[in-house]
């Protein structure tokens, strides 16, 4: 039920984004971008990689919290094949939007709860920075980087210590 509702909400947002991106005033553009990002998140939680993929540029690249770079195909395949299961993926702060002509920078904090490779990573927070581009009259996510917010800063600092000699 949760996934079906997320897909319906995401589909409605996709229609709104596709229909109004080219002619919308500055403030409305920011609203369209926020709606598009939230639709992408909801699609990923629902496992709807087709809907999420429509909001990602064909040449999309992302950097995950482990510092690994992935392509659009790689990121969506992880969701399709169950390696990555988003159980929660939602903004934990307002989505800041800085518009620069046909590009936009989005910054926001998220709560996420994922299963990665069979290991549960219960509710964590991260900062996400995204570049969206207006292509053929609609906004598409072209790049994102996710920076994890450590739950245990001491353990995080220890993980940065040099290994071996």
pLDDT band at 145 (very low <50, low <70, confident <90, very high): very high
pLDDT for 110 equals 96
Q: 57: buried, middle or exposed (CB in 10 Å: 19+, 13-18, 0-12)? A: middle
Confidence band, pLDDT 50/70/90 cuts, at residue 163: confident
Q: pTM here?
A: 0.79
For residue 37, CA distances in Å to 92, 104, 117, 138 come to 13, 12, 25, 13
Share above pLDDT 70 across residues of the chain, in percent, rounded to a whole number: 79
What is the mean pLDDT of the segment spanning 47-60? 98
Residue pair 96/108 in contact (Cβ under 8 Å)? The answer is yes
Give the domain ranges of the chain: 2-150
Cα separation, 116 vs 113, in Å, equals 10
More confident residue, 157 or 134: 134
Q: Distance between CA atoms of 113 and 49, rounded to whole angstroms?
A: 18
58-107 pLDDT, tens digit per residue, is 999 999 988 999 999 999 999 999 999 999 999 999 999 999 999 999 99
Q: What is the mean pLDDT of the chain?
A: 85
Q: Which residues pair with 132 in a beta bridge?
A: 104, 141
Which tops the pLDDT comparison, 6 or 151? 151
Q: Tens digits of per-residue pLDDT, 149-161?
A: 987 667 667 777 8
- CATH topology for 2-150? Nuclear Transport Factor 2; Chain: A, (3.10.450)
Tell me which of 49 and 117 has the higher pLDDT.
49
- pLDDT at residue 15 tops 90: no
Angle made by CA atoms 7, 85, 144, in degrees to the nearest 5: 80
Question: Which whole number is the average pLDDT over 3-15?
Answer: 46
d(CA 156, CA 66): 12
Q: Which whole number is the average pLDDT over 101-122?
A: 91
Quote the Cα angle for 162-129-71, to 5°.
Answer: 80
Contact 113, 122 (CB under 8 A): yes
């Amino acid at each position: 039920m949760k996934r079906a509702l997320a897909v319906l909400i995401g589909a409605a947002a996709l229609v709104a984004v596709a229909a109004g991106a080219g002619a919308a005033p500055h403030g409305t553009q920011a609203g369209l971008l926020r709606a598009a990002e939230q639709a992408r998140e909801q699609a990923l939680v629902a496992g709807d990689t087709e809907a999420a993929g429509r909001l990602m540029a064909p040449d999309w690249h992302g950097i995950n919290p482990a510092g690994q770079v992935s392509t659009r195909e790689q990121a969506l395949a992880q969701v399709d094949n169950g390696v990555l299961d988003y159980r929660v993926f939602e903004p934990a702060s307002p989505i800041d939007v800085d518009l620069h002509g046909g590009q936009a920078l989005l910054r926001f904090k998220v709560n996420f709860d994922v299963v990665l490779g069979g290991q549960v990573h219960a509710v964590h927070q991260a900062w996400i920075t995204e570049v969206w581009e207006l292509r053929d009259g609609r906004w598409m996510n072209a790049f994102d980087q996710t920076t994890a917010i450590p739950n245990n800063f001491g353990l995080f600092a220890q993980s940065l210590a040099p290994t071996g000699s």
